[in-house]
Every structure is written in C-alpha cells, then in structure tokens.
A = this chain, B = another copy of it.
C-alpha cells in the first residue's frame, strides 16, 4: 500500500493500548459477543444515567427554538462563554473567594480543557499526578511530549512524578518526598479513589506549590458530592490564586456528560516566571483552538444555576449518593475494605494482592457487571477496582445482589 512520507508523531506512539474507557467498552462488547444474552450492568465508565431535570432541558429547548427567530438567533458567541453564564458560575461557586466572572472560561467539558491546558503549558514542563488518577492527565502529557517512554517494569512514563495515594497515607501524598515539578494535577474529590482532601491537606498542597513555584491544576469535577467540610474549591485556601487554576464540569451534577459543559477558572493572579499572566495565554489558546461551548448547552448551564436548577441538581447528586451507600454496604458486608464513597460517586474497593484487570474480568464474566480496573488509573491503583455509583436504582440493587452471589 502507498504510504506518505510523514512520520508518525513519536509521542503518540509512546501511549500504551487504548485510552482506558474505550478499552473497557471494547472488552464489554467482546463479552457481549460471547454472551449475547448477558444482562450487563455498567458501573464502569462513570456515565450518568438519570434524566436531566426538566427545568434544565426546558431552558435548552427554549434556546433551540429561539435560534429559529430573528431576535433569538445568535451565531459565534464569545469563545470564553456567555457573560451571563460566566457571572452565574462566579456567583454560585466562587462568591467571596475573589474570583471574578472574567476569570471563568466556559468550555465543553473538563477533559477537553485538560488537553487545552497541556497545549498551553507545552512540551517542556514536567507534571506530577496523584497515583492513581484520572488517565487524561497522563495521556495528554504523553501526547504533548512532556514525558519519556513508558517503563513496563514500573508501569510509569518517564519524566512524570507519580504521587502515591493509598490507604496508608489517607490518599494524600507525602509531599515531603515529592520532588518539584512545574505542574501538579490534583483532583479532589479524587477520581478514582473518591477521597476528598481536607482543608489542612489542601493548605499543605498550596504551600508546597508556592515553595516550589509550581502551578496546581485542580480538578473539582465532583465537588458537589462532598458531604463533609472538605473544601469544594482550591480557592477556599488563602493564597491559592497565585499558584492554582481550577477545572470543573456540569457533567456529574446535571447529567451533562452528553450535553458537554464545563469551565476553567484561571485567576489573574497566576503568573508565569516572567510575570506574564497564565490567563492571557489560556485565552489565546481558547480563541485559537476552540469556538466556545454550544449556545444551547450554555442555556442549559444557566438553567442549572437558577434556584430551581440548583435544587434539582442537588436531588440528582443525592440520588447517586444513595447508590453509593448501597454499593459500600454490599462490599462491606462481604468483608472488603472499601474507600472513597463519602464525598464522591465512586467506591474504591480493595482486592489485596490481586491483579485488577483479573478482578475486572472476573466481575464481568461471573456477574455481568462492568467496573474499572484500578491499574487503569496508574500503578497505585493495582489491587483495586473502581465501582461507579451512576446507575438506575434497580440496576444498582441487582448488581449488589450479583456481587453478593459472586463473593459470598
């Protein structure tokens, strides 16, 4: 066959297998091919299942209809998002934290923003990640050329700092042992462990970043799941604006995984070493590589942040939190050690000394339940599986029944 003379991007060639979640979808499909009658329940990818409250979809339908009218039509919006939505996000989530509406960049989701942030930082930076953590941080770093090759023996990429988070350290890294990096990705409540960092821990993290001159990329996509007094934003920590930006999403609050809407906060106070504001360069990336979130999704965002919308989102979050409790009770009744769950829609179940892909396969084959193998989130996830609490109640109950059968 004819081949061009264009070399394949060597950074992409470094990536191992497929991106985690498509890989799980592939294995699920293979299982279904072998067992066409299997009634599979997915507690894997973390995909929302409950209908979006009507107050929110009505706002979107209304905007869609308005686009057919002369007065209601709008074309290109501001790349940074509609002023009204930016103001509503600032007022709802960052009141009294010194975050201004102009610090908010509305986006089509946190995952997309993470990649845009990597393009912003470029290939010369070194990142740190919690281990385990959401795989998009590491994979986007590899793609941008920030890393060396994958090292099979330790299951890590070279030139990434993996900050081990385990039951032994309460899922918060021992910062005294972490070397300086330029960027620190930090997700709290964490995906996959479900652990939310306390105010004291985040104060340590901000101090650590400030001492090192690092930038924290704080992922707060699950903040509304917090039940205790853990901070919901890094900007609750004094001084964070000088060392952190924050990415967030409507996906897990309003069921917007398919609607696509999130935001990133880049405070004006966050400066590169030459004094240039990070927000200014991020704005350039957003204007060059992105054209704004869909106006209809943005209308949905405004619906979410109305008084009725906020109440409705609380109900959605509350429903998934009840699911979490059912899953926790199930595994605990079977004698497993279970983590997370209190402040997150994820249950992190310990299978000591077992390979997590083997456990994944066992649960899929014997219970027809899809989970996510912990090692997919980094070597620190080995011996765990993540069980997502997103699901219809009857499916959660049925999955619990099958798991009890399997591990009784």
Contact = CB atoms under 8 A, between A and B. Distances in A.
Given A75-B48, A124-B9, A242-B2, A255 B67 contact: yes
Interface stretch (A228-236, A268-276, A350-358): A268-276
Contacts of A151: none
A257 B76 contact: yes
Interface stretch (A84-92, A218-226, A288-296): A288-296
Contact of A70 (B45, B51, B120, B257): B51
Interface in A349-408: 390, 392
Contacts of A8: 272-274, 276, 281
B273 A4 contact: yes
Contacts of A60: 61, 64, 67, 296
A111 B289 contact: yes
A342 B118 CA distance: 41
Nearest to A124: B7
Interface in A257-310: 257-260, 269-276, 281, 284-285, 287-297, 300
A7 B273 contact: yes
A243 interface: yes
A98 to B, nearest CB: 15
Contacts of A76: 45, 47, 257-258
Contacts of A47: 75-76
A214 B215 CA distance: 39
A115 interface: yes
B18 A183 contact: no
A8 B122 CA distance: 9
A41 interface: no
A109 interface: yes
A12 interface: yes
A204 interface: no
A74 interface: yes
B45 A9 contact: no
Given A68-B53, A281-B12, A288 B115 contact: yes
A145 to B, nearest CB: 7
Q: Indicate how many identical chains form the complex.
A: 2
B12 A122 contact: yes
A341 interface: no
Residue among A114, A272, A274 with the most chain B CB within 10 A?
A272
A9 to B, nearest CB: 4
A42 to B, nearest CB: 10
Interface in A136-167: 136, 139-140, 143-145
A213 interface: yes
Given A9-B121, A272-B7, A68 B52 contact: yes
A174 interface: no
Contacts of A326: none
14 contacts: A1-B269, A3-B271, A3-B275, A4-B213, A4-B215, A5-B273, A6-B213, A6-B272, A7-B182, A19-B288, A51-B70, A60-B67, A64-B64, A67-B255
Interface of A: 1-13, 15, 18-19, 21-22, 45, 47-54, 56-58, 60-62, 64-65, 67-70, 72-77, 79, 108-109, 111-112, 114-115, 119-125, 136, 139-140, 143-145, 182-183, 209-210, 212-215, 242-243, 255, 257-260, 269-276, 281, 284-285, 287-297, 300, 390, 392
Given A9-B122, A60-B64, A109-B291, 13 more contacts: A5-B213, A6-B215, A7-B124, A8-B274, A8-B276, A19-B284, A57-B67, A73-B255, A77-B258, A111-B289, A119-B144, A257-B291, A260-B291
